[in-house]
Structures are given as C-alpha cells and as structure tokens.
C-alpha cells in the first residue's frame, strides 16, 4: 500500500507530478490487485477508549462469546494495549463500580489471548505499583493479578512482599479460630507460589493450624479444637505440595516443639496422620521423606512407637 501511495504521489497525484505511462499504470493496478484487493478485508477494530466507555455502563453486554470474539479479532498490538489499559484502569480509584465489575468479567477472557511477553509486562506494572506505597492501588493490583491467575508473572521479590506477612499473620493467630480461617483464606491463592525461604514457616503455620489442640468446653461437646473453616482449605493446599514442601513438613514434625507437644494427644496425632496420608496419596516425595510418611501413617503401629523415633527436643 505504501509503495502504491508513493507511486500515485509521484505520477499524477499533484499538480507538479509527472504523467505515468501505460505500463506504470498497469503495473500499479496489478500490484493493488495482487497485494491488497486479493486479501480478505480485515475485521473492524474496536477503539479502546470507546470500548472502555461502553464498559462503563450497566447495558454492557456480558456475553462471553461476544467479548471473546471482539478480542480475538484484534491485532496483537491492540490486545497488548488493552491489557495494559485494563490493569491501569482497574487499579484507579476514580472509576465506577460498574466499570470495575465489567473489567473483572472481561480481563480473564483477554488474559487467555495474551502472549507471555504481554503477561510479563502486566506483571512488571504490578511490581511498580507494589513499590509505590499506595495501599489502595496495591490492593486493587493484587485483586487483578489474582483475578487473571497471573501470580507467576510478577517478580519473586513482589511475591515475597505479599506472602510473607500472610504467613506471619496465620502463625500468630494460632488457636484463634476466626482469625485462622481469615488468614488461611487470604493465604490460599498464594499457596503455590511460596518463596523458597518461606516454605518452612508456611508449612509450620498451616500444619499447626490444622492439627489444633486438645481442650474442653462447657459449650461444645468436643475435645479436639481447630478451625473448621481453615481445615478444608489447608487439606487442599496439602494436596498440591511439591517435593520441597513435603520435606518441610517432615522437618516441621522433627523440629517444631509446639507441634511435638500437641501430637502427644491421640486426636491431634490422628489429624497429623491425615496430612501425611494426603501427601502420600497426592504428592511426589523424596525417598527418605516417603519412608518417614509411611511410618507416620502406619495405623498398625501405636502412636508412641512413631514418636520415639523422632529427635528429642524441648517441648513447650
């Protein structure tokens, strides 16, 4: 097209232009037929600003197929730009709840069409927001990243900044059941992205939360106390442990004095055994860890025999 425009401008396009000969005219027509008119007419391109304006309305059509079609027809550069605009707009404090809600609907659809480089670009935007100190913007950015399942595209340093306080919150709320449920729920989306140097603390916190403690109550006819809300979430986390987290679980049993004190009771030991069975059934284990877990989960042997095999530590 550019070559055709140049030819047209040079020959007959302006008062001072030269007159083209017949061969030049025929060649120009042939080129237009071959390289332009023979190609399928491109689909209409959405204007990003106009599209965002339409999304800021209760009448926006939340039809997944229609939205997906509109996005899939876009050139890559438009898809990339739209993803950046979605993220920046979503994190803004000056948008309506209607627009935010519609972005929440559209963003996961668009995310599935993005190339990895574009996803990394959004992750880099998140990293910049995280160091900005703007709490409101950081919270919205975090919501967006979770919404599109994009944690793997933010930097390890950013993940650590987010996840480390969540682990500490859970560890410090031990035996406060409402807080345990709240902090476990907050930690759940990040459980597959725990920084390497936080794995032990993470496994320790969720293990002790699940095991709970023995007690008595005039109100409840139970002796084993733990957070009913946190427990199923923790079991789900254990189902997705990798080999490093399994090793951390074994190390926690061997070295954590609070846990060792609690599993002297039958109810707490059975709950620990349940975690071990989950790992044996769902996770890959190092050979030595598998041997340890088999001993832990061997229901044919009394609890006391297993406990005697553990290293001696000072119990609380």
pLDDT of residue 298: 94
SS3 for 8? helix
CB 311 within 8 A of CB 303: no
| Contact by Cβ (8 Å): 164, 195 | yes
pLDDT, position 11 = 63
CA pair distance 35, 15, nearest whole angstrom: 28
- Residue 310: pLDDT band (50, 70, 90) is very high
In whole numbers, what is the pLDDT of the chain averaged over residues? 88
Name the percent of the chain lying above pLDDT 90: 64
| pLDDT tens readout for residues 94-124 | 899 999 999 999 999 999 999 999 999 999 9
CA atoms within 13 A on the CB side of 285: 23
Instruction: Write phi, then psi, for 207 (nearest 5 degrees).
Output: -65, -50
- Give the E-state strand segments of the chain in sequence order: 213-214, 224-225
Other Cβ atoms within 10 Å of 292 Cβ, number: 23
- The reported pLDDT for the residue numbered 43 is 54
According to the model, what pLDDT value does residue 133 have? Answer: 81
How confident is the model at residue 16, as a pLDDT?
64
Positive or negative: CA dihedral 15, 17, 23, 26: negative
Which pair of tokens denotes residue 303?
């609890």
pLDDT in tens, 243-259: 999 999 999 999 999 99
Cβ atoms of residues 147 and 106 within 8 Å: no
pTM, full prediction = 0.77
pLDDT digits (tens, 9 = 90+) for 174-215: 999 899 999 999 999 999 999 999 999 999 999 999 999 987
**Rounded distance between C-alpha atoms, residue 139 and residue 162, angstroms:** 10
Phi/psi at 132 (nearest 5 deg)?
A: -75, -25
């Amino acid at each position: 097209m550019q070559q055709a425009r140049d030819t047209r401008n040079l020959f007959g396009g302006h008062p001072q232009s030269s007159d083209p000969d017949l061969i030049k005219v025929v060649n120009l027509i042939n080129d237009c037929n071959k390289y332009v008119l023979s190609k399928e007419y491109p689909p209409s391109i959405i204007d990003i600003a106009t599209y965002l304006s339409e999304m800021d309305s209760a009448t926006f059509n939340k039809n997944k197929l229609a939205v997906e079609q509109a996005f899939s027809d876009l050139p890559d550069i438009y898809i990339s730009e739209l993803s950046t605009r979605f993220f920046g707009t979503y994190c803004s404090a000056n948008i309506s709840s209607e627009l935010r809600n519609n972005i929440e609907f559209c963003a996961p659809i668009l995310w599935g069409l993005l190339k990895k480089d574009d996803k990394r670009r959004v992750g880099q935007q998140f990293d910049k927001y995280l160091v900005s100190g703007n709490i409101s913007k950081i919270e919205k950015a975090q919501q967006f990243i979770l919404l599109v399942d994009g944690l793997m595209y933010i930097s390890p340093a950013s993940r650590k900044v987010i996840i480390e306080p969540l682990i500490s919150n859970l560890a410090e709320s031990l035996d406060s059941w409402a807080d345990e449920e709240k902090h476990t729920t907050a930690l759940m989306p990040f459980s597959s992205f725990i920084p390497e140097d936080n794995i032990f603390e993470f496994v320790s916190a969720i293990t002790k939360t699940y095991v709970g403690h023995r007690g008595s109550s005039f109100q409840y006819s139970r002796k084993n106390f733990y957070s009913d809300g946190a427990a199923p979430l923790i079991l789900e986390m254990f189902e997705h442990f990798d080999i490093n987290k399994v090793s951390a679980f074994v190390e926690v049993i061997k070295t954590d004095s609070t846990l060792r004190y609690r599993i002297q009771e039958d109810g707490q030991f059975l709950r620990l055994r349940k975690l071990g069975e989950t790992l044996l059934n769902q996770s890959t284990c190092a050979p030595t860890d598998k041997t340890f877990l088999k001993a832990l989960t061997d229901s044919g042997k009394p609890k006391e025999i297993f406990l005697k095999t553990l290293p001696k530590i000072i119990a609380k």
